[in-house]
Amino acid sequence: MKLRIATRRSALALAQSNWVAAQLQRFESGLEVELVEVVTTGDRIQDVSLAAIGGKGLFVSEVEDVLLRGEAELAVHSLKDVPAELAPGLLLGAIPEREDPRDVLVTAEGDALDDLEAGSRVGTNSLRRTLQLRRQRNDLEYAMLRGNVDTRLRKLAAGEYRAIVLAAAGLRRLNLFGRPLWPIPVEISVPAVGQGALAIEARADDARTRALLDKLDHKPSRACVEAERAFLAVLGGDCHTPVGGHAQLVEDAKRLRFEGWVGSVDGKEHVRASQDVWVEDARRLGQLAMDVAKDVAQTLLERGAAGLIEQAKREAEAQKRDPRKKI
């Protein structure tokens, strides 16, 4: 059996796709795997924010096109980049066990956020990260930082930034987690919906590939990230809105904890809610996670999240009209 995997060409995307290939080869003896590399619009345009050129979906849609044209059997994405609605004819064939979902602060010496000097320049392209960190340290300068992980680390080493913020999962998958860094607690920065998880797409009518992918699917991780995506849908949020949503199993998977956060684009307002429940029947984890996520989303809406999200969408539209506009 031969399998073609559609993937972006970045070092992280290739590392993720090669990991998926290795896992599938463990399940299927003699499986041949070929990577079909795609350079997306999001990869080509690096000098403006993602919101200004269409959002994270730019990293996904062109890879999906390869799958839909029959030029690959599956596609590997970072799940946080995958829109709530998949292209017609595609589905999430597997969500492997989730990596560390936290954000991390990377510096030359592994400094914590409180160690940074006032006025220090911190690089990130995430409005969600900027707004949450600013609530802890509003005396720092937060600057846009695009590019792949290697590019961002080079800019840090060159002294362009005092610190940069990245996803822990990406550093782990690139075997870079041993460098000086400070994992940012979820209490300070609620991760993006789906952060740390991989999404493996397949065509709905490809039964053979779907059967193979089912062996790689990690049901607890799927339950958590699908609940996070449902949370985002209830809020009416998208890749342009500063929203954090994180579900996790704690106490040996006996409890489910969900954290939700929504901020205003100007950083003046935010709402946060959480819920912690017992997992009485592991077989019903998926439904339980969905119910909890929707409850947290409803609580945030009652606390004013809808207005903050609409404000963010208006700002995103304005930025599309003027890509150099700063938020």
Between CA 238 and CA 144 the distance in angstroms is: 20
With CA atoms as reference, report the closest residue to 255 among 228, 236, 237, 282. Answer: 282
Phi (first) and psi of residue 112, to 5 degrees: -80, 170
Question: Cβ–Cβ contacts within 10 Å for residue 311, how many?
Answer: 16
What phi, psi does 101 have (nearest 5°)?
A: -85, -5
Phi, psi at 100, each rounded to 5°: -55, 120
Tokens of 320: 């599309």
Q: What CA–CA distance (Å, rounded) separates 140 from 118? A: 6
State residue 209 phi and psi, 5-degree precision. Answer: -65, -40
The neighbour count for residue 14, using CB atoms within 10 Å, is: 17
Q: Is position 65 annotated as part of the catalytic site? A: no
- List, in sequence order, the alpha helices (H) in 33-73: 41-44, 50-53, 58-68
Round to whole Å and give the CA distance between 306 and 262: 9
- For tokens 């949450």, the residue is 132
Residue of 43, 81, 266, 281 marked active site: 81
**122, amino acid identity:** V
Alpha carbons 125 and 199: distance in angstroms, whole number: 22
- The residue among 85, 86, 63 whose CA lies nearest residue 76 is 63
Sheet with 2-8: list strands edge to edge. Answer: 32-38, 2-8, 74-78, 198-203, 90-94
CA–CA distance, 25 with 13 (Å, rounded to integer): 18
Measured between alpha carbons, how far is 169 from 103 in angstroms, rounded to an integer? 8
* Catalytic sites, residue numbers: 81
